[in-house]
Structure 1
Amino acid sequence: MVLSFLVFLALLLLGMPVVFAIGIGGLLFFLSQPGLQLTMPVQLALSETQNFSLLAIPTFILASNLMNELGITRRLLAFAHTLTGFLQGGLAQVSVLLGFLMGGVSGSAIADATMQARLLGPEMVRKGYPAGFVAALQGFSGLLAVAIPPSIGLILYGSIGQVSIGQLFAGGIGVGVLLAAAYMATVALLSRRRGYAPERPRPPGALELWRAFRESFLAVLFPFLLLLSLRFGVFVPSEVGAAAVVYALLVGLVYRELSWERLVRALAHSVRDVGMVALLIAMAAVLGYGMKWEMVPQKVSAFFLEAIQNPQVGLALILLALLLLGTILDSTVMIILLTPILVPAARALGLDLVHFGVLMVLTCAVGLLTPPVGLSMYSVCSVMGCGIGAYVREGWPFLLATLLVLVLAFLFPGIVLFLPRLLF
């Protein structure tokens, strides 16, 4: 198993696409075990994609792409502009609030960051914001999609680890609100120092606020409907994604933006996104079988129980390891590969699996924004046409704000667990 993992890392460093690196590493394990038949990798890859609990992923991805195509983004942008445009650095504050609102629509940090960079980036540069600052701001604002339901990362963790997805969604909201507040405070401090001007001369009036809220009401309502339908048992997680698709189509009809062209475009994007995630899950099943064969989850759990008596120390060590691992591995890959190992370890330590899951998924996602393998980082830098050096110089205050929120959520579990305990 050690050889398979070393080959996997070596292939990654050589630049091979991660899904093939995982598959080759898993196949190598079967080749090195004479007692295992070579038909098993194919069977494992196929059977893993037939897992009923994973059905929520393609339906949520389709719902997200539909809502992005059917006028939701434009209305959320107008709402965010009305709420925060009067603040200093108004357009930057609009970006953070739009990231918070869009998190409940897309569920993907990379998709949100790229979309916002394309949507707001050129206007921000024209108004004097450095391209590196805009890239960092949009990248970290996209991170809010990892916390706000329907987060794809939380769905993956809940499906693989057999943890309540509804409770994970509720737990992510508290951290998402805190992250948004931290980013807005960071923007306010930087704007005051650099003299970034507001977008609006004065705060909005009550009538203006109501009009903006009414225009975006159906989009803002989306994450709350998800939570309530799960809480009251209207849908199970595998069904609520399908209900979200129907909801997205109804929103498109209400806004009169549903067309064949947009529907086909949303379907095409969804096929690509689902194919990528499904192939990762299939290949991870092959490598994951090797971990189960070598009893890696049990060995990790035993190590933590023997070496670490304090659960909080164990949790801190796990999160620190994930933070370092995130600099070289994609967050989705980490969640798929490590959830079967770390959930038994967390259970053995007596940790709350909802609290652990939200922290784990967010910590993994930080790697999307850090060198050398930050997919969101490369995406926003490509859109903004700036170098990694400029991004890093401008982005460190947002990274500090993110780490501060993670530390607070670690020290005060109520930030994560308040809503799950209240609702469930």
Structure 2
Amino acid sequence: MLIVAIAFLILLLMGMPVAFAIGISGALFFLQHPELPFTIPVQVTVSQTQNFALLAVPLFIMAGNFMNRSGITERLLELASVLTGRMTGGLAQVSLALSALMGGVSGSAIADAAMQARMLGQEMVKRGFTLGFASAVLSFGAVLTPTIPPGIGMILYGTIGQVSIGRLFAAGFVPAILLWIGLSATVWLTAKRRGYKPEREKRPTLRETAHAFTGGIWAILFPVFLLLGLRTGVFTPSEIGAFAVVYAIFIGVLIYRKMKTRAFLEALEGSLSDVGSVMFLIALSAIFSYGIVLERVPEVVSGLILGITQDLEGVMVLIALFTLAAGFFIDATVLIIMLTPIFLPLIRQLGGDPVHFGMIFLVAATIGNFTPPVGAAMYAVCSILKCPIGAYTRESIPLFAAVAVITLFLVFVPEAVLFLPNLIFG
């Protein structure tokens, strides 16, 4: 597998699309083992697409695209302004609140960061924020998105690792709130030092607050309905994805009445592109995974890590650090697909909870979206706002530190992750 790994890294550095890099490097494994039928890569690729549990992935992607075009974003922005507009940090605090509210709508950190950059980026600069600080806040705020259901990373991790998706959905809320608090405190300290003013000078009136909550209530209830459907057994994870699509269309067509024919077709077109890229990546990853299993890579990695420490928390910290380092170069979706089969058996061997580990793993994998040299969310925001990467990197260091501290807290206080899943699912 060493040659396969080296080939994968070389292809990535050459700029080859990740899915092809995974598929081609994985195929090299079979060239090294001529005793294996070369029909296996085709068979495992096709069989991966027949996984019924993965049906939830395209359905939730479709739901996110429909929700984004339902007119709900503007109402959530109004709600975010009412909630945090008077806090020191102004639009930066509003953007963090919007990320928390949008998490259950978009499910994609990259999409959320790009959307907010277009909506709030120039306004933040006009209000006196440095370009680097505005870009860093808009990018790092999207770390909240994958931890709030229905994050696509949760579904991939749960499906690959055979972990309850319902419990993963429930586990995301408290970490998301803690990450929001950590990022908000960091923004407050920076804004206080630089004299950034609040967005609103006066407290919102009761009428304004009620109007904002009424406008955003359908998005707030979205993840709640998902959890209730799973908890009561009304839906399976795949079926709840279909419910999410119907719910999103219902909101856009009948409640907000923003989803006309053109918006509907744009949502379908965006979903086709997103689903195609994600499912193609999942399908080709089966070739890579076949070699990992056959070469007993999980056992080898487990032996190396256990040679350093056999303490569960220590192992989780090492895995988080490795995932973070890998995330500097590899997309979060790829990391989830490739590393879940390697690390999750080790956590189970040590008696760790797969839901607790899942949230640590997802946050660590997601951070790579916001860091150089290949962070997709970072490049999306910086390209939209025309921000130099150096300025972005300098301003993002305190935000990175805040996320790291919260992640370490979650490692050593598993109750913060498991409290809500245990309360809801027992």
Does TM-score exceed 0.5, indicating one fold?
yes
Counterpart of 2:207 in structure 1 is 207
Q: Secondary structure at the match of 2:172?
A: helix
RMSD over aligned Cα atoms: 1.2
- 1:59–1:242 contact (8 Å) kept in structure 2: yes
The answer (yes or no) to whether the contact 1:329–1:373 under 8 Å persists in 2 is yes
* Unaligned 5+ runs, structure 1: none
**Superposition deviation, residue 300 in structure 1:** 3.0
Cα offset, 1:207, TM superposition? 2.3
1:297 positional shift: 2.1
- Match runs of 1:104-143 below 5 Å: 104-143=104-143
The equivalences for 1:348-367 within 5 A come to 348-367=349-368
State the Cα distance separating 1:305 from its structure 2 match.
Answer: 5.0
Is 1:319 the equivalent of 2:316?
Answer: no
Aligned residue in 2 for 1:285: 286
Please give the per-residue CA displacement for 1:31-66, whole angstroms capped at 9, x wherever unaligned. 111111112111111110111111111000000000
Q: Using the alignment, how far apart are the partners of 1:271 and 1:239 within structure 2? A: 19
Letter of the aligned partner of 2:80 in structure 1? A
TM-score normalised by length of structure 1: 0.98
2:183 & 2:205 partners in 1: Cα distance? 25
The one-letter code matched in structure 1 to 2:176 is G
Equivalents in 2 of 1:183, 1:196: separation in Å? 16
Q: How does 1:83-162 map to 2 (within 5 A)?
A: 83-162=83-162
More displaced 10-residue stretch of structure 1: 253-262 or 66-75 = 253-262
1:314 and 1:349 in contact (8 A); partners too: no
2: distance between equivalents of 1:125 and 1:9?
A: 38
Aligned equivalent of 1:411: 412
- Aligned pair count reads 424
Kept after mapping to 2: 8 A contact 1:304/1:349: no
Contact between 1:110 and 1:376, CA under 8 Å: does it hold in 2? yes
What is the alpha-carbon distance in structure 1 between the residues aligned to residue 398 and residue 302 of structure 2?
36
* 1:227 positional shift: 1.1
| 2:233 is equivalent to residue 233 of structure 1 | yes
Alignment check: 8 A CA contact 2:317 2:408 kept: no
Q: Deviations over 1:120-145 (max 9, x none)?
A: 01111111111111110010111110
Letter in 2 for 1:202: K
1:260-283 residue CA offsets vs partner (Å, 9 max, x unmatched): 111100011111111111111111
Aligned to 1:59: 59
Q: After TM superposition, give the deviation of residue 113 of structure 1 in Å.
A: 0.3
Q: Which residue of 1 aligns with 2:276?
A: 275
Whole-angstrom distance in 2 between the partners of 1:260 and 1:155 = 30
Q: Deviations over 1:336-367 (max 9, x none)?
A: 01111111111111111000011001101111
Gaps of at least 5 residues in structure 2 are none
**How far has the Cα of 1:299 moved from its partner?**
3.0
Give SS of 1:143's match: helix
Match of 1:264 in 2: 265
What one-letter code is carried by the residue in structure 2 that aligns with 1:158? G
In 2, are the aligned partners of 1:305 and 1:349 still within 8 Å (CA)?
no
Partner Cα separation in structure 2 for residue 173 and residue 248 of structure 1: 21
**Distance between the aligned counterparts of 1:392 and 1:282, measured in 2?**
34
Aligned residues: percent identity? 52
Give the Cα–Cα distance (whole angstroms) in 1 for the partners of residues 37 and 185 of structure 2. 57
User: In terms of mean alpha carbon deviation, does 188-197 or 57-66 score higher?
Assistant: 188-197
